[in-house]
Amino acid sequence: QVQLVQSGAEVKKPGASVKVSCKASGYTFNNYYMHWVRQAPGQGLEWLGIIDPSGGTTSYAQKFQGRVTMTRDMSTSTVYMQLSSLTSEDTAVYYCARSPGYFDLWGRGTLVTVSS
Amino acid sequence: EIVMTQSPATLSVSPGERATLSCRASQSVSSDLAWYQQKPGQAPRLLIYGASTRATGIPARFIGSGSGTEFILTISSLQSEDFAVYYCQQYRNWPLYTFGQGTKLEIK
């Protein structure tokens, strides 16, 4: 079955970091770029960045430069998104999405709550 | 960065009627335009790519049109399950694939 399975919800304190995983199955992992998108409560979709699973090359939205790191593990077909120096503004659902251009397959999302 | 602007923000339509949603790009994206549907508590779902190609399993009542900077998503004969939020996205400007702010389609 073609799917992206994300890790579970996280609660973090301000200033902490979070690492969210996204495990791909049912297709050739390194054939598609993977993007990360987030959605704050009641808000729209915001692009964080992209990783090329085949070479590990990344590109991040300027807004998150220096705070976000995307990595991959070829052995488990998993991509990771780590966001550091969290504030309440980072409370959101974080999605991974497979991309042959458009986003044709999405994970279910991981809720990250930042609260003291 | 290519800015995507959707209108209206909210659209109220009765079941069985037609809905027309608009999306405008700040510069040409050719036909590299996708539409997504999102229901509460769910991830977005791909409806249309290439401005007019329906994704697998998407009913024929969803029709995408346009190119360049102006795009339309038409949903003919609205069903109850179609009331949701719709986003357009350009994937012309690699890798910054920007989204519109969304149109909420609600029952009139």
pLDDT digits (tens, 9 = 90+) for B66-93: 999 999 999 999 999 999 999 999 999 9
Place of tokens 């719709």: B86
Q: Is the pLDDT of residue B2 over 90?
A: yes
Q: Which of A3, A4, A36, A45 to mutate to test the interface with B (most CBs of B within 10 A)?
A: A45
Helices (H) and strands (E) in chain B, counts: 0, 10
pLDDT of residue B96: 87
Q: Which two tokens stand for residue B82?
A: 């179609």
If pLDDT is split at 50, 70 and 90, which confidence band does B94 have? confident
Contact B87, B39 (CB under 8 A): no
Cβ-nearest to B96 among A61, A99, A102? A61
Q: What share of chain A is helix, strand, coil (3-state, %, to 5)?
A: 10, 50, 40
Contact residues on chain A for B99, CB-CB shorter than 8 A: 37, 44-47
- Residue A88 in 3-state DSSP? helix
- Residue B81 in 3-state DSSP? helix
pLDDT of residue B87: 98
d(CA A22, CA B66): 34
d(CA A69, CA A73): 13
Contact B64, B48 (CB under 8 A): yes
Place of tokens 């009542």: B61
- Residue A31 in 3-state DSSP? helix
Contact A98, A5 (CB under 8 A): no
d(CA B76, CA B96): 31
Strand A46-51 to A33-39 pairing:
antiparallel
Q: Is the pLDDT of residue B95 over 90?
A: no
CB contact under 8 Å between B49 and A104, yes or no, is yes
pLDDT of residue A115: 96
B34-73 pLDDT, tens digit per residue, is 999 999 999 999 999 999 999 999 999 999 999 999 999 9
Regions in chain A scoring below 70 on pLDDT: none
pLDDT of residue B6: 98
Q: Which two tokens stand for residue A33?
A: 């770029």
B6-31 pLDDT, tens digit per residue, is 999 999 999 999 999 999 999 999 99
Q: Which of B97, B98, B101, B104 to mutate to test the interface with A (most CBs of A within 10 A)?
A: B97
Average pLDDT of B92-99? 90
Q: Distance of CA A105 to CAs A46, A86, B8, B44, Å?
A: 17, 27, 27, 9
